[in-house]
Structure 1
Amino acid sequence: MTRLRTAIPGPRSLELSARRKGAVAAGVGSTLPVFIESADDGVLFDVDGNQLIDLGSGIAVTNVGNPAPAVAEAVHAQIDRFSHTCFMITPYEGYLEVCEHLNELTPGDHEKRSVLFNSGAEAVENAVKIARHTTGRQAVVVFDHGYHGRTNLTMALTAKNMPYKHRFGPFAPEVYRVPMSYPFHDGLDGVEAAARAIAAIEKQVGADNVAAVVIEPIQGEGGFIVPAKGFLPSVASWCRANGALFIADEIQTGFCRTGDWFASDHEGVVPDLITTAKGIAGGLPLAAVTGRAEILDAVHTGGLGGTYGGNPVACAAALGAIRTMRDRDLNTAARRIEEIVVPRLRKVAERTDVIGDIRGRGAMLAIEFTERTPDVAAKVAKACHEQGVVVLTCGTYGNVIRLLPPLVIPDEVLAEGLDILEGAIP
C-alpha cells in the first residue's frame, strides 16, 4: 500500500527542522529529520501525513508497541494519583513491584536485589560503583566494539571514538579493553576467543586487580556482534574463579528482544549484576541494576539512588510493559521475527557481493557489508528512509544495518519494510 503523501522529509517536517536549528543544540543528531505526531504497532505517523515503517523501535525501546495499551493505561492512572515524591524521601509500591519483577525475571534463581535509575548509562555507572565497593578493586575490563553510554565513565567503557568520545576527555581511569569474540572476522570458537581475552586480562591488568568485567551479551552499537558459543560462559567462569564480578549490560538486548527475557539466558549465563533500560518501560525513562543480594545489600545506605530514579510514572509504565510481554508472549514473537527476516536476508546475500554477514538473534538482527566504510550502509539506509522505512546503522566502521522492529509488528508491515530494504541493497 502507498504510505507516503510527500517526499521524505515533507514540508511540515522541513519547517520544523528550520525551527530546530534556532532552538536545539547542533550536537544532537537525528537519523531521519521527520517529525512524528503519533504511532501504532510498527508504524510512525509524521506531521505531513506520511506513514513510516518502524524497524528501529527508538533503538530497542518500544518493544511492546508504541503506544502499548497497557503502558498507556498504567501511565494515565498513575499520573492522576501523583507524579513524583522521590523514592529516597517517601517510597511507593510501584518501585517495589518493578524490583520484584526484575528479581524474578533476570537470570539465576539466587536471592536478588534491584535499584532503579533513569538511563542505561546511569545503570552501568552504578554497576561499576557497586563492583568496586564490593571487591575493593578498581580495574574494569571491557571489550573491543563495546558501547556503554555517554557519561564520563561510560564513555571510557565505550570503544568508538566518533561521535561518542571525540574531544570529550580526559576519561575515567582504570578501564582496560580486550578483544571481543567476533566470529565473522576472527574465525575463533567461543572458548578460543575467551582464552585470548583472558590472557590479555591476566597479562595487562592482573586478575587480582579486576573489580568487574562488563560486557554486552550481544554487542549493540558495535555492530550487533553475537559472540561465538562458549565465549560468555568462559568469561563468566573466569570471573567467578578470580573474584571479579561479571556484569551483563543488557540495556539493548533485554526484555524479549533476542527471543529470551535476556540474552544471557541463551547459554545459561548468570551475571553477578545485570543492567537494564530501553525496553523496560515501553518508552518512558527507566533503568535498573539487578544482582546478587549480598552484593547490593553491602553498599552503605545512601550510597545508591537519585532524585528521579524509579519515578512512579515510569514504574507504572514498566509494569504495563512487563504485563504485555507476558500476555503476548513476546519472546516467541521475537523468535518468529528472526524466522521471517533471516531467510529473506540470506537470499539477498546470495545474489550480491556487498553483504558479508547476516547475524543476530530474535528481533535484534544485522547486515554487515563487506566494505569497511560507512558508504554502502549509509546509501542503503538513505534509500530506505526516502521510501518511508526507518532503519539504523551501527558498527565500529559504520558498515552495519541493524534491524530492531517492535516485537508486536504485524507480519504484513514487516514484510513491506523488508521489501523496501531488499530493493535498496545493490
Structure 2
Amino acid sequence: MSTMPGLDDAAAELIHAEDEHLAHNYHPLPVVIARGEGAWVTDVEGKRYLDLLSAYSALNFGHRHPAIVAAATEQLGRLTLTSRAYHNDRLGAFAAALAELCGKDLVLPMNTGAEAVETGIKVARAWAYRVKGVPADAATVVVANGNFHGRTTTIVGFSDDPDARDGFGPFTPGFVHVPFGDAAAIEAAIDENTAAVLIEPIQGEAGVIIPPDGYLRAVREICTRRNVLFIADEIQSGLGRVGETFACDREAVVPDLYLLGKALGGGILPVSAVVADREILGVIRPGEHGSTFGGNPLAAAVGLRVVEMLQTGEFQRRAAALGEHLAAKLDALVGHGVTAVRIAGLWAGIDIDPAVGTGRAVAERLLARGVLVKDTHGQTIRIAPPLVVRGTELDWAVEQLTLVLAD
C-alpha cells in the first residue's frame, strides 16, 4: 500500500527518498514528474497534467521544444564548456543576437537569475563610482516593496518577505525601499548617491502585481532626469511571457539594464544575462566579475536558438492573443470563489476567496484534476502556461478551476 494518499508505491518511495536526503527548502506538490512535452507532463504513474506553472516561466517555449532540444543536442556532440579563460565559437553569435533583441551594445552572460541581479547591482555601483562620481562605498539602489529578485544573502537583505529574509542576516547595506507602483516615492528616494532603481516591471512572486499605467514611463523619465540607472528585472516577465518581448515594452520603455534569465535557457539549462549599452556595462574590467559556466558553449547555443525564436514575434503574438482569451474566462470567476484576477499576456495571479480555502489547497485540488499550478503568499495561485499551450487546453483548465472553486 502507498504511504501517501493518492500515490502508488513507486511515487511514494521516490518522494520519501527526497524527504530523507534533500534539504527541505521547498514544499512541492505531491506529484513525481517523469516526462514532459509541450504544455503537458506525465508522472511516474502515467497520469498526464497540464503544466500551468512553466517552472516559474523558465519553460516559456514548453517542455522539450524540438528546436531548442536540437540546438542543445548538436552542441552536446561538439563542445560544452571552456570557461571564459578562452574564446568559444558560439558565444559571440549569442551575444550579438541577444544585444540586438534588446537594442543594446553589450551582454554579460551568467547562469542563474540571482546571478544576473547580483551582476546588475555590481555594474550599477561601479558605474556610480567611475562615471557618476559617487563617493567610494556610498552608492545606493532604490528597490520596491514586495520585490523578489532571488535568494542570495545580498538580495534577501532587501526583500521584505519574512520567509526569504528572517534568520539570514546581517545584510548588505545600500538599499532604499519604496512602495511598488509609486513613481513619486522613487523620485523622493533618489539623492546624489543613488546609483540605480531596480524593479520588476511586473512583480511575479508577489502574485503577478501589475503597476498602474504610466508607472514605467514615469520611472524612465525620473531616472533619466536624475542621472540614475533604470534596471529592469525581466527574469520572469520577459521573453514573450506578457505578450511582448519584455514587460517594459507594454509602455514602450527601454531600461538602462535588462536582467534576463529563466526562459533564456529554453527550459534546458540555466542561462542568464545582463544587457546594457557600452557606457554602462563597459565599466566592468577583466578580473572584476565572472563565472566558470557563464557563457559556456552549450548555454550560448541554446540561448541563441531562444533569441532566434523570439525574433519572429510568434510567441509574443500567441501570448497576447491567448492572454486575452484567458482573461475573459478568469474574470468571470470573480465573485465565485475568486476575489481578484491580475493578468498580463499568459501570466495571471488569481486571489482565492478564503471561504474556498488557501492557495495551496486549491493547487492540490487542481493537481487531482490534472492541472499544475502553484500558490504564493497564502491566497494566490499563479498561472503561467507555456506559450505553446492551446486555447482549448486553457478552457479545460479553467473548467477544472471552476469545479474546484465550487467544491
1:89 deviates by 1.1
SS at 1:176 equivalent: strand
Equivalent residues of 1:374, 1:399 under 8 A apart: no
Equivalent residues of 1:41, 1:410 under 8 A apart: no
The answer as to 2:294 corresponding to 1:309 is yes
Partner of 1:101: 97
Letter in 2 for 1:93: D
Partner of 1:23: 21
The answer as to 2:192 corresponding to 1:208 is yes
Partner of 2:228: 244
Superposed, 1:12-411 pairs within 5 Å as 12-27=10-25, 29-86=26-83, 88-106=84-102, 109=103, 111-136=104-129, 137=134, 138-162=139-163, 164-181=164-181, 193-199=182-188, 201-202=189-190, 207-283=191-267, 284-327=269-312, 329-350=314-335, 352=336, 354-369=337-352, 375-394=357-376, 397-411=377-391
1:214 deviates by 0.4
List gaps (5 residues or longer) in structure 1.
1-5, 182-192
SS at 1:81 equivalent: coil
Equivalent residues of 1:357, 1:368 under 8 A apart: yes
1:168 deviates by 1.3
Equivalent residues of 2:201, 2:234 under 8 A apart: yes
Distance 1:130 1:374, change over 3 A: farther
Equivalent residues of 1:147, 1:157 under 8 A apart: no
Distance 1:8 1:318, change over 3 A: farther
Partner Cα separation in structure 1 for residue 28 and residue 206 of structure 2 = 17
Letter in 2 for 1:376: T
SS at 1:307 equivalent: coil
Deviations 1:309-359 (A, max 9, x none): 122112211222233334570001101221221111111114x2x433211
Name the TM-score, length of structure 1 as normaliser. Answer: 0.88
Q: Paired residues, what number?
A: 394
Letter in 1 for 2:364: K
List gaps (5 residues or longer) in structure 2.
none
Partner Cα separation in structure 2 for residue 321 and residue 385 of structure 1 = 30
Deviations 1:124-147 (A, max 9, x none): 001010000001242111101110
Deviations 1:18-74 (A, max 9, x none): 1112221122x1432322211111111111101011000011011112101011111
Name the TM-score, length of structure 2 as normaliser. Answer: 0.92
Partner Cα separation in structure 2 for residue 399 and residue 58 of structure 1 = 20
RMSD: 1.9
Letter in 2 for 1:84: L
Distance 1:337 1:311, change over 3 A: same
1:412 deviates by 2.8
The alignment-based identity, stated in percent, is 33
1:379 deviates by 2.1
Distance 1:337 1:289, change over 3 A: same
Letter in 2 for 1:246: F
Distance 1:9 1:239, change over 3 A: farther
1:225 deviates by 0.6
